């Protein structure tokens, strides 16, 4: 094992800042697997608005799983301007962010103008509720950048999750206040440009995630992803950034807790 890889006996606690659930998932088993890999904090990102209430009820039983609520750009056309419902959900203690929201012009499952309208409405909700925003941006950088710059004005926290852009795009996002989060994609041979982008992100504005059940990192590529595997993402990132695993684990977890306003038990003592 490389000196920069994880020693499970001394590992810092880890935070998977973005994962999804399916109706067949065993949440208790997901947590067991995660905790065996020192992943002690997880944030579930809404991807099925019609199931938010059900999932929030299930997740309420697990103190280390937090939540975000929003409308994914794929579902923007289905949004019926029922912002009062999202406002109510966002008031629940476990909800720490608005998302995932954004623009996706790769699949165009919803008309682009509707995507932009819905994104702007949820950015306004994030500001109203003083919650950070979680952004999905795919093949839509310029329009997403304009929405973020207009609505947040560089003064409100947001994270671009599963970043797959260029160093230049990362630089532009950082200039308007972004935190940037990376997935197992950084372990793929084809992801050289994304790794270069990761190198320019200040260490106090970097986070890591699985986006499970998608995008399992090497050596698990081709299998369903899970929050436990964020350890492998951080290991690989530490090697790339020439840091020790323990240092990057500590920094990224501190970043996530600060970003999502999660207080350590030690801070409350």
Determine the Cα–Cα distance for residues 80 and 8; give it in Å rounded to an integer.
47
Determine the Cα–Cα distance for residues 215 and 211; give it in Å rounded to an integer.
7
As a whole number, mean pLDDT of residues 74-100 equals 95
Specify the DSSP element, H or E, that contains 145: helix 141-152
- Residue range(s) defining the domain that contains residue 63: 14-268
**What is the pLDDT, as a whole number, of residue 80?**
87
Structure token digits, residue 198: 């990761």
Domain membership of residue 1 (yes or no) is no
**What is the pLDDT, as a whole number, of residue 87?**
97
Over the stretch 96-141, which tens digit does the pLDDT of each residue have? 999 999 999 999 999 999 999 999 999 999 999 999 999 999 999 9
Over the stretch 7-61, which tens digit does the pLDDT of each residue have? 545 568 999 999 999 989 999 999 999 999 999 999 999 877 888 999 999 999 9
Closest CA to 121 of 71, 158, 162: 71
**What is the pLDDT, as a whole number, of residue 266?**
46
Q: How far apart are the first and last CA of the chain?
A: 37
Predicted model pTM: 0.94
Domain membership of residue 151 (yes or no) is yes
Q: Give me the CATH number covering residue 216.
A: 3.20.20.140
Domain membership of residue 8 (yes or no) is no
pLDDT band at 265 (very low <50, low <70, confident <90, very high): low
Say if CB 47 and CB 23 are below 8 A apart.
no
When divided into structural domains, the chain yields a total of: 1
Determine the Cα–Cα distance for residues 126 and 250; give it in Å rounded to an integer.
27
Query: Cα dist. 50→69, 82, 246 in Å?
Result: 11, 12, 39
Say if CB 39 and CB 62 are below 8 A apart.
no
Say if CB 68 and CB 34 are below 8 A apart.
no
Q: HSE on the CB side for 87, CA within 13 Å? A: 10
Query: How many CB atoms are located within 10 Å of the residue 148 CB?
Result: 26
Structure token digits, residue 51: 């199931």
Domain membership of residue 4 (yes or no) is no
SS (H, E, C) 175-236: HCCEEEEECHHHHCCCCHHHHHHHHCCCHHHEEECCCCCCCCCCCCCCCCCCHHHHHHHHHH
pLDDT band at 269 (very low <50, low <70, confident <90, very high): very low
**What is the pLDDT, as a whole number, of residue 104?**
98
Determine the Cα–Cα distance for residues 70 and 24; give it in Å rounded to an integer.
22
Domain membership of residue 7 (yes or no) is no
Domain membership of residue 9 (yes or no) is no
Domain membership of residue 204 (yes or no) is yes
Say if CB 14 and CB 249 are below 8 A apart.
yes
């Amino acid at each position: 094992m490389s000196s920069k890889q994880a020693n499970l006996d001394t590992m810092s606690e880890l935070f998977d800042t973005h994962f999804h659930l399916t109706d067949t998932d065993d949440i208790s088993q997901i947590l067991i697997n995660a905790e065996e890999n020192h992943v002690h904090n997880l944030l579930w990102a809404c991807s099925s608005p019609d199931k938010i209430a059900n999932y929030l009820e299930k997740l309420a039983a697990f103190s280390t799983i937090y939540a975000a609520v929003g409308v994914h750009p794929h579902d923007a056309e289905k949004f019926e301007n029922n912002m009062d419902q999202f406002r109510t959900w966002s008031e629940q203690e476990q909800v720490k962010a608005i998302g995932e929201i954004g623009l996706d012009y790769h699949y165009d499952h919803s008309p682009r103008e509707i995507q932009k309208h819905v994104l702007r409405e949820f950015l306004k909700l994030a500001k109203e509720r003083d919650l950070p925003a979680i952004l999905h941006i795919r093949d839509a950088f310029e329009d997403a950048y304009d929405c973020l710059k207009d609505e947040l004005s560089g003064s409100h926290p947001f994270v671009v999750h599963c970043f797959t852009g260029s160093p230049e795009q990362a630089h532009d996002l950082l200039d308007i206040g972004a935190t940037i989060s990376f997935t197992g994609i950084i372990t793929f041979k084809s992801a050289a440009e994304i790794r270069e982008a990761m190198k320019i992100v200040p260490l106090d504005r970097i986070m890591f995630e699985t986006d499970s059940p998608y995008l399992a990192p090497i050596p698990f590529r081709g299998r369903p992803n899970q929050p436990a595997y964020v350890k492998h993402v951080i290991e690989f990132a530490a090697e790339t950034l020439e840091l020790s695993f323990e240092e990057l684990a500590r920094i990224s977890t501190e970043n996530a807790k600060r970003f999502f306003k999660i207080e350590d038990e030690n801070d409350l003592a």
